[in-house]
Amino acid sequence: MEQPIIVHDGASVEGAFDLHSHSVYSDGSHTVEELIAQARAAGLAGIAVTDHDSLSQLAAVRACARAEGFPVLAGLEISAACAATGRKVHILGFGLSATADGSGPVERLVRKTLRARSANTLWQAWTILKVMASAPQPVEALERAGAACADAIDGAFSLDAVWRVCHASTGVYKQHIMEALVHRPYLDEIYQKVYRSLFKGSGVCASDISYPEATDAVRAIREQGGVPVLAHPGQMDSWSIIPDLVEAGLMGIEVYHPDHDAGDEQRAREAAAQHGLMMTGGSDYHGRYGGPAGMGACFIEPDEAGRAVADLFAREAGL
C-alpha cells in the first residue's frame, strides 16, 4: 500500500526536503535506515539527520546513507541559550565532520552539554528509583510523590531498562526514561500526564542544565567549516537574537516546522530576506518520542530551498 502524498499550504512533499530529524543516536526512536525508509515512502528527495550535541555519529550516518543510496545531510542540533533573554536557542549545523581527537570547536562546545544532560537524566532516573524504593509498593510510592497515572508505570523500571532503550545514543534523555517507565508514545495522554507530573513544575525530577551561548554555537560551527542554521525560531521565540546570530556567522533559518504557524513562517522568510539567509524546513521527527506523525510532516520544496540547500547536498557527497 502506497503512503499518501503529504501536502501543506498547497505544496507537496513529493521531491521535497525534510531537513530536521532525530535518530537513535540521540532522542529519536528510529535508526537512520528506518528514517530513510520513511522518507522514501513519503516521496522525499532528501533528508537531514540532526541529532543533538554530538558529531561522533556523523560517519555512521553517512555510511548508512551511502549504503541505502539516499541523499542525507549528516548534521547536528546544538542546544544553546541566549543570556540576554533567558530563552533556549537551537542551532542546526551542516557540512561538519568529527575530528580524529574530538578537539574541534563544535566538539569542545557540545561535550559539556552532552555530559551534563546525561548526568542530569541519570539523576532523574535514580530519583524515580529512590522514590519507588521508599515503600513496599513502588508504583504507589510514585503516586504519593505526585506522579499522575501511576497505574500505567512499569513497576520493574530500572537503570538497566533505561540502558536498553538508550544504548545506541550518544547521551541519555528523558525520552529514554519515559520509554522504560510507561512504554507509551509521546502523544499518548497518559505519557503526557506522567511526563508533566515528574519533570515539570514541582515534579520530583524537575531539573535542567546550563547551555552554551547561541552566538558561540554559531561561531563554533563556522570555525569548524560548517553551515549554521537557526532552528524553529517561532517555537522558542528566538527572533530577537537573530541580528546577533547573523553577526556571529549565521547562514540559514528554519522556516517550516510543526510548531510554526503561518505568521512564524512569514516572519522567518522576512528574516531570511533581510539578512541573506538560506531557508530550510523540517519535521523535527523523533519517532514515537515526539509529536510529528512521520518524516515529511514538514518540509521545504527545492524551488524555495534554492541553490544553497542544493549546495549542501553536493558538499555532503564529498564528506
pLDDT value at residue 2: 45
* pLDDT tens-digit series, residues 171-201: 999 999 999 999 999 999 989 988 988 999 8
Bridging pattern class, strands 87-94 and 72-82: antiparallel
- Sorted by where each begins, the domain ranges of the chain are 7-101+213-316, 114-199
| Residue 45: alpha-carbon gap to chain centroid | 21
Ramachandran area for residue 296 (φ above 0: left; ψ -120 to 50: alpha; else beta): left
Name, in order, each residue with C-beta under 8 angstroms of 54's C-beta and a sequence gap of 6 or more: 25, 26, 76, 110, 114, 170, 171
Contact of 268 with 253, CB cutoff 8 Å? yes
- Residue 308: name the closest of 17, 2, 15, 6 by CA: 17
Decide: helix, strand or coil at residue 239: helix
Fold of 7-101+213-316: TIM Barrel (3.20.20)
Supply angle C-alpha 162, 18, 113, rounded to 5.
40
- Cα–Cα dist 104/131, whole Å: 41
301, three cell numbers: 520544496
- Mean pLDDT taken over the chain: 93
pLDDT value at residue 146: 66
* pLDDT tens-digit series, residues 219-268: 999 999 999 999 999 999 999 999 999 999 999 999 999 999 999 999 99
- Cα–Cα dist 270/259, whole Å: 18
The residue type found at 211 is Y
Q: Which residue bears the cell 561538519? A: 96
The secondary structure of 183-207 as a DSSP string is ---TTSHHHHHHHHHHHSTT-TT--
Return averaged pLDDT per consecutive 10 residues of the chain, 319 residues in all.
53 92 98 98 97 98 98 98 96 97 97 98 95 72 68 86 98 97 93 90 92 98 98 97 98 98 97 98 98 94 96 96
The residue type found at 74 is A
pLDDT value at residue 8: 61
Decide: helix, strand or coil at residue 311: helix
Q: Across the chain, where does the E strand assignment appear?
A: 7-8, 11-12, 17-18, 46-52, 72-82, 87-94, 227-230, 252-256, 278-281
Name, in order, each residue with C-beta under 8 angstroms of 196's C-beta and a sequence gap of 6 or more: 148, 203
| Residue 224: alpha-carbon gap to chain centroid | 21
